[in-house]
């Protein structure tokens, strides 16, 4: 029994140890890596993928997948920018942008839960639809001309007590989601549905409602990521967030959440996103060519999954 | 009473927190300036390119790297993979490395502003190459004279058509300065000639596959045309494929950039002309200019690089 | 009997991480013998078989096949020595044909060409199935066969590799009564052909019916071997549990109250015009052949299957049940037949499974109260005597009996008026069986009404106050406790032929 629980602990610690190993190697190789300034920069870079991956964790825990988050990010970012450019109050525009993301997510959820369409197919379709809507809405051009709002600038570029505001947003949301998963009925139901959908239905869980909720949450988080990105860049590009869904899925998997659903934790996802962020940042600091960077990132993902297999077998 | 007190406390804290918000980076004081360039005597240049999926930018990077080696300058290259957010992140990483001068080839003229400002805050001078930035402090911009190049293409097509005919224009990524300027030059030339009509104008995002698809669609639409002007060679080569399959070999195709593929195509008679930008020269100029700035010399704020017409 | 000894295992011991799971176990099977291996879950039966087939290596002891000492390193080696295993979960690929399944991995080809000799394989498939007296089209897709037929295919496959010893692990668990009869005929044939069979089952009456000898394991110890016909039922039970179990079924003397549930004219595509009632504190047994529609009626009652017409009344008031949640709100709990697929979330802990249907009572509708949840779960673990290392243990690693206790226990959180139990003791060892019967008795004493579907007639007779027999989607008869016996039930279940 003791050996088993030790194994389980190792399984949970795996991602953290992996992150530590990468951090140690990078800090030896690059003197700038461990500076506070660089760490804050790195954390700020991670926020976008982390927010997408947080939502993705919920979706994957229910046994689903959401390929549309990158497109949702772009559309929500463009809508928010467009609303502000046409003179809407920035705070209202941000709220409406997040709401728009939630609606896009809810659409995914309804198609998957009520329409019984496989999540991969449903979100593959909406990925294209949302991207198309973004191109239609923006006419293929970046949306600009809203940068005079101080409040909006703060979201992506601001600091509070020296910490970038996106990083604060990321951690606040992380703790809220952590509590939702650990402490609420909704969170328990998310795990149950991923673990055994039949048993969940037979236990009286409103499976459809939970699924729609999960996809809406993911959509809202993707929209928030899009808004932060728009604020950082001062423009909303119609091809923003392209292939980000893959980075988000990678972060979830690196964190040890099972793609089969029912098993996983959001802390792991945070670590997974940090691994990706640290690699991006560190390899840039080392001056590694971007072509090689892609190979290194892919290899790390493979290695992580292989080690995970080894441990569980 | 109690709840009023609570409410007041929350309001106070909220206001306090909001007041503490700032867009000033806490570590962006000017102090770094002295150690930035002085630590090891050698000049360190950061080069942020927009993509390495396009031979033009590969050539540009090679020109810059060779020049850097020749001048004994350290260079770190980062690639944005055509994503504005990635470019911002990698420029932040270059700033963390305390490069002495930043040479940027923006993915998007508007979205790069934040990145330029990040460098400005760290007192790192910025040079833009090929595409310009719409904001932030840029010391120098090095680019082909795209407007002149566009005019060159327009004049060539008009001459080949004998002043009479229909032309299709394949545009680059909307909003990019290259697409804007090349288009502007091209229209300067053809709009002035009554016999030449631009019958279709569609973006194909500087991409060969996109160029192929867009051209196929235009052919399918049944529009009659005699010549194609593409804002870059990749799109032009895509268009050539589409025209070949449709058996329309006599259509005049003019590209822009003179990439290796395009020059070969011109020699083989598949394309009629391309406007040779000189990416090597742009890259070299970028490094030379950056070095001059690092050594405290003053430089021009726009450094045009010559273009030439490549025909068979 | 002059039959030669096929396999002999002597003094087998095995430990996992210092935990001794087998201690000097002896086991022997002769040709033409059906030898039952009996033991509660965790007694070491499967470990012993895994050592025999080379999946595990032994720590001590010897294994002989036809007198030759062997040391198998893999199942491939044991197969080559003529040992085949028919697992409880069948090794059939549902999208391939019977013939393709038979020859999977050892397809017959034209020489070395790589082209399949389909003709020959079809013929051989027919031959082997014919040896068993079974007629199945070799070209039919295996997934379209019944579980019993699939099992026949596996047995035929074992014959085709010249297996001399076949290990059958709970072979009747998923079969209908008719299929079980069929299987017994096949086993008889195999025995005549001189094949030795290791028969692992919990069903005592089957062992008495078809086995020659029985060996009993308990907690990894070898208890003894007996010849069937020379051993009494009670002796076997006490060998099995290590004590006198006493009577399996508790005395029913619960006072039966008013009508709790009334079902009127319930009709769907698989059953029609079902009328019955259950009283407070009553256990209604539901018997019938497999496929008669027993489970389907209960699923409909629970809102998990659509009905065409019919009314349901609880305590005299009509209730509308369209989905499981409606049923739960009306006070109905449903312990499904397949606890792994429908009852439990295997990736979750004992605690999380216990509170799944009634989290609202453990929370303020949103946030779960750890204190309330822990109290509830600790109470239930104690009440049901669940053997677990703690409430955080994953249910996956519990024995069948303990899993079943959790599935029943999780419904107590909703304070059910009516509890439907579909095959409540399937795959559960005798000790846990008795405990479950006691739990049922206690629940009815508290006024809960129980509907129990069961294919085990002794269980139906032993526990029910009243028995409803279902025949081809209709009620075939209703019997009171004192008038019912096995013959009368079978008579009603087969339509009174």
Estimate the crossing angle of helix B113-121 against helix B84-96, to 10 degrees.
10
Q: What is the pLDDT of residues C361-386, one digit of tens each?
A: 888 888 999 899 999 999 989 888 88
Q: So what's the pLDDT on residue A313? A: 42
Which portions of chain C are predicted below pLDDT 70? 1-3, 17-18, 41-42, 243-246, 496-497
Phi-psi group of A19: left, alpha or beta (phi > 0 → left; psi -120 to 50 → alpha; rest → beta): alpha
Give CATH for domain C259-493.
3.40.50.300
For residue B55, the tally of other CB atoms under 10 A from its CB is: 16
Mean pLDDT of chain B: 86
Strand ranges for C147-302 from DSSP E: 165-169, 196-200, 213-218, 221-227, 259-267, 274-279, 283-288
Among A212, A225, A242, A244, residue whose Cα is nearest residue A80? A225
Chain C contact for A185, CB < 8 A? yes
Q: Which of B52, B53, B140 is nearest to B102 (CA)?
A: B140
Query: What's residue B29's pLDDT?
Result: 46
Confidence at residue C69, expressed as pLDDT on a 0 to 100 scale:
92
Question: For position B18, what pLDDT does the model report?
Answer: 67
Q: How far apart are CA B104 and CA C340, in angstroms?
A: 59
Domains, chain A, with CATH or none:
36-306 (1.10.3470)
CA distances from C441 to C255, C413, C448 (A): 11, 18, 10
Instruction: Please judge whether A154 and B21 are an interchain contact, meaning their C-beta atoms are less than 8 angstroms apart.
Output: yes
Cα(A245)–Cα(B231) distance, integer angstroms: 31
CA distance A277 to chain C (A): 31
Quote the DSSP letter at residue C340.
I
CATH level 2 (architecture), domain B32-138+279-300 = 3-Layer(aba) Sandwich (3.40)
A190: distance to nearest CA of chain B, Å? 32
Q: Taken in order C425, C428, C434, C440, is the CA torsion positive or negative? A: negative
Q: A186 falls in which pLDDT band (50, 70, 90)?
A: very high
Alpha helices in chain A (DSSP H): 2-29, 36-61, 69-85, 90-113, 119-138, 150-157, 165-183, 185-195, 197-202, 207-233, 244-254, 266-285, 290-312
Supply the mean pLDDT for chain A: 89
Q: What pLDDT was estimated at residue A3?
A: 38
Say which residue, A195 or B222, is predicted with more confidence. A195
Polymer length of chain C: 497
Q: Are B49 and B80 in contact, with CB atoms under 8 Å apart?
A: yes
Residue B128 has a CB neighbour count (10 Å cut-off) of 25
Q: Which CATH number fits domain B146-276: 3.30.420.40, 3.30.300.30, 3.40.50.2300, 2.60.40.10?
A: 3.40.50.2300
Q: Domain extents for chain B?
A: 32-138+279-300, 146-276
Does the CB of C366 have a partner CB in chain A at under 8 Å? yes
The yes-or-no answer to whether B32-138+279-300 and B146-276 have a common fold is: yes
Q: Are B241 and B181 in contact (CB under 8 A)?
A: no
* Residue A41, pLDDT score: 85
Q: What is the pLDDT of residues A112-123, one digit of tens each?
A: 999 999 999 999
The verdict on a CB contact (< 8 Å) between B26 and A162 is yes
pLDDT higher than 70, residue B41: no
Asked if residue A216 has pLDDT above 90, the reply is yes
User: What does the alpha-carbon distance between residue C143 and residue C175 come to, in Å, rounded to a whole number?
Assistant: 15
Say what the pLDDT of residue B156 is.
Answer: 94
- With beta carbons under 8 A apart, name residues in chain B contacting A159: 21-26
End-to-end CA distance of chain A: 16
pLDDT for the residue A7:
53
Q: C351 — contact with chain A (CB < 8 Å)? A: no
Superfamily of domain C5-241: P-loop containing nucleotide triphosphate hydrolases (3.40.50.300)
Phi first, then psi, for residue A239 (nearest 5°) are -105, 25
Picking from C497, C167, A290, C80, the residue whose alpha carbon sits closest to that of residue B53 is: A290
User: Which residues between 185 and 244 in chain B have a beta carbon less than 8 angstroms from any beta carbon of chain A?
Assistant: 203
A32 CB neighbours in chain B (<8 A) are 96-98
CA dihedral sign, ordered C98, C103, C107, C108: negative
With 0-12 CB in 10 A as exposed, 13-18 as middle and 19+ as buried, what is C378?
middle
> Angle between the A165-183 and A185-195 helix axes, to the nearest 10 degrees?
70
Contact A202 C341 (CB under 8 A): no
Residue (of B51, B73, B72) closest to B60 by Cα position: B51
- Establish if A192 touches chain C: CB-CB under 8 angstroms: yes
A184 contacts on C by Cβ (under 8 Å):
363, 366-368
**For C396-419, how does the pLDDT look when each residue is reduced to its tens digit (9 = 90+)?**
888 788 889 999 999 988 889 999
Query: Do the Cβ atoms of C324 and A203 come within 8 Å?
Result: yes
Chain B neighbours (≥3 Cβ pairs under 8 A) are: A
Number of CB atoms found within 10 A of residue A10's CB: 11
Touch between chain C and chain A (3+ CB pairs, < 8 Å)?
Answer: yes
What does each C-alpha distance from B206 to A91, B56, B173, B211, B275 come to in angstroms?
36, 11, 6, 7, 15
| B1 confidence band (pLDDT: 50, 70, 90) | very low
H helices of chain B, where?
A: 2-20, 32-38, 55-71, 84-96, 113-121, 146-160, 177-190, 208-220, 233-245, 260-267, 279-294
Contacts of C317 (CB under 8 A, 6+ apart): none
Helix, coil or strand: residue B45: strand
Rounded to the nearest angstrom, the minimum Cα separation between B153 and chain A is 25
Residues C455 and C423: beta-carbon distance below 8 Å: yes
Q: What is the mean pLDDT of residues B70-87?
A: 90
* Subunit contact C367:A202, Cβ cutoff 8 A: no
Q: β-strands B302-305, A159-160: how paired?
A: unpaired
Share of chain B above pLDDT 90, in %: 49
Close Cβ partners of C308 (under 8 Å, ≥ 6 residues apart): C267, C268, C269
C242: left (phi over 0), alpha (psi -120 to 50) or beta: left
Contact A195 C347 (CB under 8 A): yes
Q: pLDDT tens digit string along B95-115?
A: 988 899 999 999 988 889 999
User: Measured between CB atoms, does A188 come within 8 Å of chain C?
Assistant: yes
Segment holding C272, helix H or strand E: none
Residue ranges covered by each domain of chain C: 5-241, 259-493
- DSSP symbols for A154-196: HHHH-EETTEEHHHHHHHHHHHHHHHHHHHBHHHHHHHHHHH-
Tell me the whole-structure pTM to 2 decimals: 0.77
Among C41, C40, C51, residue whose Cα is nearest residue C16 = C51
Could you say which of C304, C344, C348 has the minimum Cβ distance to residue A191? C348
CA distance B105 to A219: 33
pLDDT single digits (tens) B124-183: 999 999 888 988 999 999 988 888 899 999 999 999 999 899 999 999 987 777 888 899
Q: Give which of C353, C431, C349 is closest to C397, Cα–Cα.
A: C349
Stated as kind and residue range, the H or E segment containing C113 is none
Nearest-CA distance from C303 to chain A in Å? 9
């Amino acid at each position: 029994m003791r050996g088993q629980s030790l194994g389980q602990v190792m399984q949970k610690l795996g991602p953290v140890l992996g992150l530590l190993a990468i951090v140690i190697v990078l800090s030896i190789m690059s003197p700038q890596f461990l500076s506070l300034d660089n760490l804050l920069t790195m954390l700020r870079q991670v926020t976008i993928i982390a927010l997408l991956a947080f939502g993705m964790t919920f979706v994957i825990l229910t046994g689903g997948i959401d390929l549309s988050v990158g497109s949702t990010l772009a559309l929500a970012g463009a809508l928010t920018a467009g609303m502000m450019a046409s003179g809407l109050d920035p705070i209202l525009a941000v709220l409406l942008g997040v709401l728009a993301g939630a609606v896009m997510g809810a659409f995914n959820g309804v198609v998957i839960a009520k329409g019984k369409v496989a999540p991969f197919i449903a979100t593959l379709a909406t990925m294209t639809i949302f991207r198309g809507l973004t191109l239609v809405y923006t006419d293929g051009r970046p949306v600009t001309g809203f940068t005079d709002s101080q409040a909006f600038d703060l979201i992506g570029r601001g600091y509070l007590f020296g910490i970038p505001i996106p990083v604060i947003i990321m951690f606040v949301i992380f703790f809220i989601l952590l509590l939702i998963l650990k402490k609420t009925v909704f969170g328990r139901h998310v795990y149950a549905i991923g673990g055994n959908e039949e048993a969940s239905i037979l236990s009286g869980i409103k499976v459809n409602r939970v699924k729609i909720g999960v996809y809406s949450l993911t959509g809202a988080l993707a929209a928030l990521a899009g808004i932060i990105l728009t604020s950082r860049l001062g423009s909303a590009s119609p091809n923003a967030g392209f292939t980000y869904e893959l980075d988000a899925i990678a972060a979830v998997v690196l964190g040890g959440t099972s793609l089969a659903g029912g098993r996983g934790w959001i802390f792991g996802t945070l670590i997974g996103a940090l691994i990706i962020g640290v690699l991006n940042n560190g390899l840039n600091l080392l001056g590694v060519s971007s072509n090689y960077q892609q190979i290194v990132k892919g290899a790390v993902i493979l290695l992580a999954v292989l080690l995970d297999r080894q441990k569980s077998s | 009473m109690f709840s009023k007190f609570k409410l007041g406390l929350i309001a106070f804290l909220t206001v306090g927190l909001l007041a503490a918000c700032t867009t000033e980076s806490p570590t962006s004081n000017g102090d770094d300036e002295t150690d930035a360039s002085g630590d090891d005597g050698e000049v360190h240049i950061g080069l942020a390119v927009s993509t390495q999926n396009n031979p033009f930018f590969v050539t540009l990077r090679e020109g810059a790297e060779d020049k850097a080696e020749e001048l004994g300058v350290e260079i770190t290259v980062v690639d944005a993979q055509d994503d504005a957010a990635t470019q911002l992140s990698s420029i932040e990483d270059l700033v963390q490395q305390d490069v002495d001068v930043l040479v940027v080839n923006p993915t998007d003229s508007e979205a790069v502003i934040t990145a330029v400002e990040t460098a400005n805050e760290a007192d790192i001078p910025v040079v833009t190459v090929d595409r310009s930035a719409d904001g932030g402090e840029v010391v120098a911009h090095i680019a082909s004279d795209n407007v002149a190049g566009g005019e060159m293409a327009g004049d060539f097509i008009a001459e080949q058509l004998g002043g009479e005919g229909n032309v299709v224009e394949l545009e680059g990524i909307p909003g990019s300065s290259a697409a804007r300027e090349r288009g502007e030059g091209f229209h300067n030339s053809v709009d002035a000639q009554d016999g030449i009509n631009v019958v279709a104008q569609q973006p194909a995002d500087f991409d060969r596959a996109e160029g192929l698809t867009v051209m196929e669609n235009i052919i399918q639409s049944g529009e009659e045309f005699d010549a194609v002007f593409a804002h870059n060679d990749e799109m032009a080569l895509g268009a050539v494929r589409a025209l070949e399959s449709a058996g329309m070999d006599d259509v005049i195709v003019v590209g822009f950039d003179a990439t290796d593929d395009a020059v070969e195509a011109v020699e083989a008679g598949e394309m009629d002309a391309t406007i040779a930008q000189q990416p090597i020269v742009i890259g070299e100029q970028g490094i030379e200019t950056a070095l001059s700035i690092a050594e405290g010399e003053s430089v021009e704020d726009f450094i045009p690089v010559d273009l030439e017409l490549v025909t068979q | 009997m002059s039959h030669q000894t096929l396999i002999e295992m002597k003094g087998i011991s095995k430990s996992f991480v210092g935990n001794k799971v087998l201690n000097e176990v002896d086991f022997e099977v002769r040709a033409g013998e059906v030898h039952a291996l009996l033991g509660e879950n965790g007694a070491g039966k499967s470990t012993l078989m895994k050592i025999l087939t080379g999946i595990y290596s032994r720590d001590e002891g010897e294994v002989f096949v036809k007198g030759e000492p062997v040391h198998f390193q893999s199942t491939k080696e044991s197969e080559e020595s003529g040992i085949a295993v028919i697992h409880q979960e069948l090794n059939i690929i549902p999208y391939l044909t019977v013939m393709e399944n038979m020859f999977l991995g050892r397809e017959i080809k034209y020489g070395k060409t790589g082209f399949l000799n389909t003709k020959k394989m079809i013929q051989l498939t027919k031959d082997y199935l014919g040896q068993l007296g079974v007629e199945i089209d070799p070209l039919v897709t295996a997934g379209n066969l019944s579980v019993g037929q699939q099992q026949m295919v596996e047995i035929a496959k074992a014959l085709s590799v010249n297996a001399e010893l076949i290990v059958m692990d709970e072979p009747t668990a998923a079969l209908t009564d008719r299929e079980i009869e069929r299987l017994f005929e096949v086993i008889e044939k195999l025995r005549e052909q001189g094949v030795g069979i290791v028969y692992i089952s919990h069903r005592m009456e089957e062992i008495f019916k078809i086995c020659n000898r029985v060996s009993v394991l308990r907690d990894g110890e070898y208890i003894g071997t007996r010849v069937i016909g020379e051993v009494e039922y009670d002796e076997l039970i006490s060998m099995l549990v290590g004590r006198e179990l006493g009577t399996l079924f508790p005395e029913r003397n619960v006072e039966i109250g008013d009508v709790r549930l009334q079902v009127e004219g319930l009709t769907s595509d698989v059953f029609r015009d079902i009328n019955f009632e259950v009283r407070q504190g009553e256990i209604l047994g539901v018997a019938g052949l497999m496929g008669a529609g027993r489970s389907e009626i209960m699923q409909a009652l629970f809102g998990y299957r659509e009905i065409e017409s019919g009314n349901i009344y609880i305590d005299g008031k009509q209730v509308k049940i369209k989905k499981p949640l409606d049923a739960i709100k009306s006070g109905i709990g449903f312990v499904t037949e397949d606890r792994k697929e429908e009852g439990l979330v295997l990736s979750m802990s004992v605690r999380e499974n216990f509170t799944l249907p009634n989290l609202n009572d453990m929370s303020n509708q949103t946030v779960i109260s750890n204190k309330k949840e822990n109290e509830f779960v600790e109470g239930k673990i104690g009440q049901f005597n669940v053997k677990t290392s703690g409430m955080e243990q994953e249910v996956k690693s519990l024995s069948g009996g303990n899993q079943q206790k959790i599935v029943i226990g999780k419904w107590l959180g909703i304070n059910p008026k009516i509890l439907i139990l579909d095959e409540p003791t399937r795959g559960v060892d005798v000790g846990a069986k008795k405990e479950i019967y006691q739990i049922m008795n206690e629940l009815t004493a508290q006024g809960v009404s129980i509907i129990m579907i069961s294919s085990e007639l002794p269980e139906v007779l032993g526990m029910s106050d009243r028995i409803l027999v279902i025949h081809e989607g209709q009620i075939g008869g209703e019997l009171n406790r004192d008038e019912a016996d096995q013959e009368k039930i079978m008579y009603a279940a087969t339509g009174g032929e």
